[in-house]
Amino acid sequence: MSALNTPLEIYKLLNKSNCRKCLLPSCLAFAAAVIQGQKKITDCPDLDDQTIQSIIGETVPRKNFEGEMADQLTGLKQEVEKIDLASVAEKLGAVANGDTVAINCLGRDFIIDSYGELNSVCHTNIWIHGPILSYVIHGQGKTICENWLPFKQLQGSADWSRFFSHRCEEDMRQLVDGHTELFFELMDLFGAKEITGGIDTDYSLLIHPLPKLPMVINYWLAEDDFASKLSIYFDSTAPDNLNIEFIYTITRGLVEMFRALIVKHNMTGKLF
């Protein structure tokens, strides 16, 4: 058998039941994790021994997304060193203080210094570090106009739309389905504001991952023969204020953050 290089090649070998025994939300997510080196093929309990033996050693793990982001951070930090942070703070909705700038993310201040290092009283990670640096470097500070669009309609989103639909909206929907009350309690802690008078949803919340990058999360509960639904909208100025790749990154970072918080605060200590 030739080397397995893509998630779809792994996915074809699975039973596609989305049983979650591997602790991931779907068989496709598991296949992607195998290729990225985050999971072993033997982590699927439903694969028979013959299939496992035929493909062990055939998979070719690729650097995962977090690894790619870590590589990008080096270049972003070097670009920040060339910027006068105080001169860009106002247009970004940030606050300058000497050679640092404070940027509010979900109600918490994150401090960027002149070397591109990130500090906060909150936990910091690569999902927020990269987008904040890109926001400082490339953000145009366009005024929010409240013209809400789905990710796929944002300028430049074509290459990222499929990933956004699967890794952001679908993964977040599954989290909300499994932990509806806890999820929205967590949203409230991060400054989410309820939107009323708009489209007919069960939940419609406005959050600010960055000062000039608002996000609307709409959620419909499952009803009768209709499955639940979740959609994420952005202001039409979003690509002017943050590179489209980092809009995807920061949204996926929210999913990862809520996943970790749910495991931590759920009484069972389990995701599903």
226 — phi, psi (to 5°)?
A: -100, 130
pLDDT tier at 255 (50, 70, 90 boundaries)?
very high
Residue type for position 188: D
CATH number, domain 148-265: 3.30.310
Q: Is the pLDDT reported for residue 195 higher than 80?
A: yes
CB 26 within 8 A of CB 79: no
Q: Check residue 66 and give its pLDDT.
A: 67
Q: Check residue 159 and give its pLDDT.
A: 87
Q: Check residue 267 and give its pLDDT.
A: 64
Task: Give the torsion sign (CA, 20, 182, 260, 165).
Answer: positive
Q: Who has greater pLDDT, 120 or 2?
A: 120
- How does pLDDT run across 15-38, given as a tens digit for each residue? 888 888 887 888 888 888 887 777
**How far, CA to CA in Å, does 151 sit from each of 3, 29, 38, 90, 137?**
34, 21, 27, 26, 22
Region of poorest pLDDT, from 39-43, 206-210, 229-233:
39-43
In the numeric block, which tokens belong to residue 3? 């080397």
Q: Check residue 57 and give its pLDDT.
A: 61
Q: Who has greater pLDDT, 68 or 62?
A: 68
- How does pLDDT run across 81-119, given as a tens digit for each residue? 999 999 999 999 999 998 999 999 988 899 999 999 999
Q: Does 148-265 match 7-55 at the fold level? A: no
In the numeric block, which tokens belong to residue 78? 């070097």
Sorted by where each begins, the domain ranges of the chain are 7-55, 65-138, 148-265
Q: Check residue 125 and give its pLDDT.
A: 77
Q: Check residue 210 and give its pLDDT.
A: 97
Q: Check residue 1 and give its pLDDT.
A: 45
- How does pLDDT run across 119-169, given as a tens digit for each residue? 987 777 788 899 999 999 999 999 999 999 999 999 999 989 988 998 899
CATH number, domain 7-55: 1.10.15.40
Q: Check residue 45 and give its pLDDT.
A: 84
Strand order of the β-sheet with 213-220 is 148-150, 229-235, 213-220, 203-210, 193-194
What is the rounded distance in angstroms from the CA atom of residue 216 to the CA atom of residue 195? 9
pLDDT tier at 269 (50, 70, 90 boundaries)?
low
Region of poorest pLDDT, from 55-59, 77-81, 202-206:
55-59
Q: Who has greater pLDDT, 192 or 60?
A: 192
What integer is the mean pLDDT of 240-262? 92
pTM attached to this predicted model: 0.75
